[in-house]
Amino acid sequence: MTTVGTTQTRQGLGSRLAALARIVELGPGRVDPKLLAESGQLLLRAGDRLKLSPDHTVVALAGGTGSGKSTLFNSVSGLELSPTGVRRPTTARTHACVWGLDGAGPLLDWLQIQWRHRFARASALDKGESQLHGLILLDLPDHDSIRALTDTEADRLIQIADLVVWVLDPQKYADASTHRRYVTELAGHDAVTIFVLNQVDRLDPEELAECVADLEDLLRREGVEKPVIVTTSAITGKGVDALRAVLAETVAGRRAAVQRLEADLDRLTLRLAKIMPADGTPAASAAIDDARRIGLTDALCDAVGVPAVGEAMENVYGVRSMEWVGWPYTRWAAKLRPDPLNSLRLGDLRDEIRGLTGGSVSAQPAEVDNAVQALADGLTSGMHEAWRNGIRDAARSRSAQLPQVLSEELSEVAPRLDRVPGWWRLLLIWQYLLVLLFVAGLAWFGTALAYGVFGAGQLPAGLAVFGEAASLPWVGLMALSVLGLGLLTAVASRNFVALGAGSERDRLEREMRRRVGGVAGSMVIEPVERELARYNEFYSAMRSVQG
């Protein structure tokens, strides 16, 4: 049963560590670098520890100067392994006692325990010691000694031991050097932390009960929800068997290493969770919806002036058509009046279109920036400030080049003023043909009037038909018909021109919007979607690492 439970725990821890690795990969620029560094260190430590002997449990005896830690270490091991005495600090280097040396070598190397300070207990030969098989008991240097200013060995091993046993004495059990530096920082590690109140032989029963209650209350205030407190006297041996029993239970479970890593991971997760979205906030979609795409395109089109360019093109299209499809007599008469372009104020618009043709269109940078900012703001509701800034930075990552690229794209589709539709040319020929017919009809009418009515003379025999007075009504009717046909053609052509101008404007604006949408997609939307995908992966990894 124990083996199955351990395997399941390891699998759960493995998936959480994999999620943490993903967080470390996705976090730069969004997560505090110090926190990412700690996460990376935990991953390395977890990888190393899980590869080493799962049959051994590393238990570190930690404590301050004078707590009796080394004496307790010797009492538990049953050997005089760690030096004790009046001189302080007595333990300069970590000593290790191993119950069951097989397979412990690589683990001791990883712990950096010197060979001369390693001791083995042949548990099979020692009565009552088999229950501790797999225990690696460490006697750490005093963490509050003068040497601690230069030697961080105690700090290092406290951070990586599977189980930490804090050895406290009745005089200094509330010492700040222990509680502030270690106990508070390791809050949440209840399953892998034991507190030993040593030297209880100096206390009477009432004083002992008072110390234990005070210590328990202090630990609870520091975040240790269920403190395990064992009272011992290393000198008299009182309580040592109880401590051995607690250690034996931990060793038998073979889960302390995993529990320690889980506790470290839980504490780290609480700090990482500060950049998570507020509770109840749904995860952002990695794809920008059509409504926001259209909104961005509309805003960029306004910034570039697509509607104004389309209107200018439509107006100039209509005015220029008068040179080709209008009734010639009307055009000739119009030349005697002021230029309609001036009265319509289209001259500047025509210059603008010429500018487009020459590639000199310019988008308004401020309006472009506002459009991009509006998109980012709409996508980041409920996100942590770090991720909101990330989305904004992604949206504006190419904002400096965006106006120029928009201008270049639209210049390629700008209308050409010298482009004349083919039907305009055919209509012009038709109009001038009608002009010729009308002029010919007037000449015929005049000839018939002069020679047939007023008798101005005698026409040659081949032209006599043009001088007959009887032809006057028919010639007049023909001339009026030609004139009417010309006017009717002019009116109809204007209607066709108006339809053509509107159609041309629609075509131009569609093409310009398509170009603007393409630029927006490649320069704004794609970077934002990559950042959203990164955010969602981080969000998913955080949920996985939280278990």
Least confident range of 22-31, 84-93, 155-164, 306-315: 84-93
Does residue 386 sit in the same domain as residue 237?
Answer: no
Identify the pLDDT of residue 357: 42
Nearest to 89 by CA among 34, 144, 131: 144
CA distance 75 to 371: 74
Q: Is residue 8 part of a domain?
A: no
Q: Is residue 41 part of a domain?
A: no
Residue 7 has pLDDT above 50, yes or no: no
Least confident range of 34-48, 195-209, 496-510: 496-510
Q: Which residues have a Cβ under 8 Å from the Cβ of 497 and sit 6 or more positions away?
A: 317, 318, 321, 325
Identify the pLDDT of residue 337: 63
Confidence bin at 123 (pLDDT 50/70/90): very low
Amino acid identity for residue 434 in this structure:
L
Does residue 300 sit in the same domain as residue 243?
Answer: no
Assess contact for 312 and 504: CB atoms under 8 A: no
Mean pLDDT over 120-129 rounds to: 58
Identify the pLDDT of residue 48: 94
For residue 465, which phi and psi values (nearest 5 degrees)?
Answer: -65, -30
Does residue 295 sit in the same domain as residue 250?
Answer: no
CA distance 496 to 200: 109
Q: Indicate the DSSP class of residue 59.
A: E
Does residue 311 sit in the same domain as residue 443?
Answer: yes
Does residue 241 sit in the same domain as residue 345?
Answer: no
Nearest to 56 by CA among 258, 263, 265: 258
pLDDT in tens, 400-423: 888 888 877 777 776 665 566 777
Q: Is residue 47 part of a domain?
A: no
3-state secondary structure at position 338: coil
pLDDT in tens, 196-222: 999 998 889 899 999 999 989 988 888
Q: Is residue 144 part of a domain?
A: yes
3-state secondary structure at position 60: strand
Mean pLDDT over 67-89 rounds to: 71
Nearest to 508 by CA among 361, 367, 324, 289: 361
Least confident range of 33-37, 53-57, 149-153, 344-348: 344-348
Does residue 233 sit in the same domain as residue 305?
Answer: no
Q: Is residue 302 part of a domain?
A: yes
As a three-state string, the secondary structure of 437-477 is: HHHHHHHHHHHHHHHHHCCCCCCCHHHHHHHCHHHHHHHHH
Nearest to 411 by CA among 494, 332, 354, 491: 354
Write down which residue in 255, 279, 308 finishes a domain: 255
Identify the pLDDT of residue 194: 93
Least confident range of 144-148, 206-210, 246-250, 398-402: 144-148
Confidence bin at 527 (pLDDT 50/70/90): very high
Q: Is residue 27 part of a domain?
A: no
Identify the pLDDT of residue 151: 54
Domain count, the chain: 2
Residue 224 has pLDDT above 60, yes or no: yes
pLDDT in tens, 508-523: 888 888 888 898 889 9
Does residue 306 sit in the same domain as residue 424?
Answer: yes
- Domain coverage including residue 218: 54-255
Confidence bin at 131 (pLDDT 50/70/90): confident
Identify the pLDDT of residue 90: 53
DSSP string, 353-370: HHHHHTT-----HHHHHH
pLDDT in tens, 334-343: 666 665 545 5
pLDDT in tens, 459-490: 666 666 666 777 778 877 887 887 777 778 77
* Percent share of the chain, pLDDT over 90: 24
Confidence bin at 346 (pLDDT 50/70/90): very low
Sign of CA dihedral 377, 284, 537, 257: positive
Maximum average pLDDT range among 38-42, 175-179, 449-453: 38-42
Name residue 139's beta-bridge partners: 61, 95
Mean pLDDT over 388-407 rounds to: 85
Identify the pLDDT of residue 139: 92
According to DSSP, the β-strands at 95-99 and 135-139 are antiparallel
Q: Is residue 43 part of a domain?
A: no
Least confident range of 301-305, 368-372, 438-442, 494-498: 494-498
Write down which residue in 255, 279, 313 finishes a domain: 255
Cα Dmax for the chain: 162
Assess contact for 297 and 517: CB atoms under 8 A: yes
Does residue 187 sit in the same domain as residue 65?
Answer: yes
Identify the pLDDT of residue 61: 94
Mean pLDDT over 89-118 rounds to: 86
Does residue 199 sit in the same domain as residue 308?
Answer: no
Mean pLDDT over 539-545 rounds to: 88
Identify the pLDDT of residue 409: 78
Q: Reduced to 3 DSSP states, what percent helix, strand and coil does the chain have, rounded to the nearest 5?
A: 65, 5, 30
Identify the pLDDT of residue 480: 83
Q: Indicate the DSSP class of residue 137.
A: E
CA distance 521 to 71: 72
Name residue 58's beta-bridge partners: 136
Identify the pLDDT of residue 261: 94
pLDDT in tens, 167-189: 998 888 777 777 777 888 787 88
Does residue 348 sit in the same domain as residue 200?
Answer: no
Token pair 């290790």 in the structure block, residue:
96
CA distance 446 to 451: 9
Q: Which helix (H) or strand (E) holds 351?
A: helix 347-357
Identify the pLDDT of residue 197: 92
Does residue 456 sit in the same domain as residue 307?
Answer: yes
Nearest to 320 by CA among 428, 436, 435: 428
Statement: the pTM of the whole predicted model exceeds 0.85:
no
Q: What is the CATH number of the domain that holds 207?
A: 3.40.50.300
Q: Which residues have a Cβ under 8 Å from the Cβ of 150 and sit 6 or more positions away?
A: none
Identify the pLDDT of residue 277: 67
Q: Is residue 164 part of a domain?
A: yes
DSSP string, 290-328: HHHHHHHHHHHHHHHTHHHHHHHHHHHHHHHHHHHHS-H
Does residue 123 sit in the same domain as residue 229?
Answer: yes
Assess contact for 29 and 390: CB atoms under 8 A: yes
Mean pLDDT of the chain: 79
**361 vs 378, more confident:** 378
DSSP string, 154-202: HHHHHHH-SEEEEEE-TTTTT-HHHIIIIITTTTT-GGGEEEEE--GGG
